[in-house]
């Protein structure tokens, strides 16, 4: 694409947080410890989506302990709006050339940022998705119902969009910030992921790339929040945002 700035100096990491008191500090330490290639700087945008546990206190502790760090932003939602809405709240504050979403749990490994950035740095891709189903595989067996639901959603999304993805529902989506902000996204919960992909699929000339990422799925008893209703909403959103909205 000719209208997207290729020079990547800053990566905006948006981290939506809702009731992740057990994992958020560990995750943030991992994010901080990753050195990005090509002297790219990190902008870390923390969005507390009105957590009811000690997540907000953990975040404030992290910010206090890292007061010298540049590009550390805290956004607080007064009511719980959902993951998609939290990402959009953070997106308003993004100043980097690219945005990457990072969940506050420990399912994904920030060390994969380098692999995600590589195709952009090389000028080979405009949008990069991290696939949990390529290459490295999973660290622990994913719940079969979630695995099958993801396959159905991804296959249907590919069918109606002409894409050739292996993991449409991935959290790791690396997208140019101006493009991301132009999508006029509506979904507030987990249907945000299919909405983003379908809206992007309608943009002509985008070069897509998937790279393998590590994945340690957690179970419902460990705090996993996505459920069956979200799966049906995802299928509805694929149709809606590919053809009608």
| Nearest-angstrom CA–CA distance, 20 and 113 | 21
Write down the mean pLDDT value for the chain: 91
Return the domain boundaries, the chain: 10-244
| Nearest-angstrom CA–CA distance, 65 and 127 | 34
Tell me which architecture the domain covering 10-244 has in CATH.
Answer: Alpha-Beta Complex (3.90)
Give just the sign of the alpha carbon dihedral 150, 152, 157, 162: positive
**Contact between residue 222 and residue 121 where contact means Cβ atoms under 8 Å apart:** no
Calculate the CA 52 to chain-centre distance: 22
- Give the helix/strand (H/E) hosting 57: helix 55-65
Assigned token pair, 95: 């100043």
Could you tell me what percentage of the chain is helix, strand and coil, using 3-state DSSP and rounding each to the nearest 5?
A: 40, 15, 45
Confidence grade of residue 99 (pLDDT, cut at 50, 70, 90)? very high
Residue predicted with more confidence, 135 or 153:
153
| Other Cβ atoms closer than 10 A to 173 | 20
* pLDDT score of 228: 65
| Nearest-angstrom CA–CA distance, 148 and 158 | 15
Widest pairwise Cα distance in the chain: 48
pLDDT in tens, 50-67: 999 999 999 999 999 999
| Nearest-angstrom CA–CA distance, 23 and 108 | 12
Of 98, 93, 96, the C-alpha closest to 16 is 93
Is residue 133 predicted with pLDDT exceeding 80?
Answer: yes
Read off the pTM: 0.91
């Amino acid at each position: 694409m000719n209208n997207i700035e290729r020079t990547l100096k800053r990566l905006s990491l948006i981290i939506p947080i809702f009731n992740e008191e057990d994992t958020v500090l560990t995750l943030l330490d991992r994010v901080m410890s990753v050195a990005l290639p090509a002297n790219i700087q990190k902008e870390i945008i923390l969005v507390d989506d009105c957590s009811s546990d000690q997540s907000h206190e953990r975040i404030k502790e992290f910010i206090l302990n890292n007061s010298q760090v540049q590009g550390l932003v805290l956004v607080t939602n007064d009511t719980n709006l959902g993951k998609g809405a939290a990402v959009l709240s953070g997106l308003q504050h993004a100043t980097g050339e690219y945005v990457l979403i990072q969940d506050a749990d420990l399912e994904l490994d920030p060390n994969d940022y380098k692999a995600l950035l590589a195709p952009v740095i090389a000028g080979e891709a405009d949008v990069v998705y991290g696939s949990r189903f390529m290459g490295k595989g999973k660290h622990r067996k994913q719940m079969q119902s979630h695995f099958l639901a993801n396959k159905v959603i991804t296959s249907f999304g590919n069918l109606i969009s002409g894409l050739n993805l292996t993991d449409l529902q991935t959290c790791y989506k690396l997208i140019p910030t101006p493009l991301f902000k132009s999508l006029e996204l509506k979904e507030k919960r987990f249907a945000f992921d299919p909405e983003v992909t379908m809206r992007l699929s309608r943009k002509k000339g985008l070069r897509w790339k998937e790279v393998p990422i590590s994945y340690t799925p957690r179970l419902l008893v460990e705090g996993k929040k996505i459920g069956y209703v979200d799966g049906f909403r995802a299928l509805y959103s694929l149709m809606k945002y590919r053809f009608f909205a």
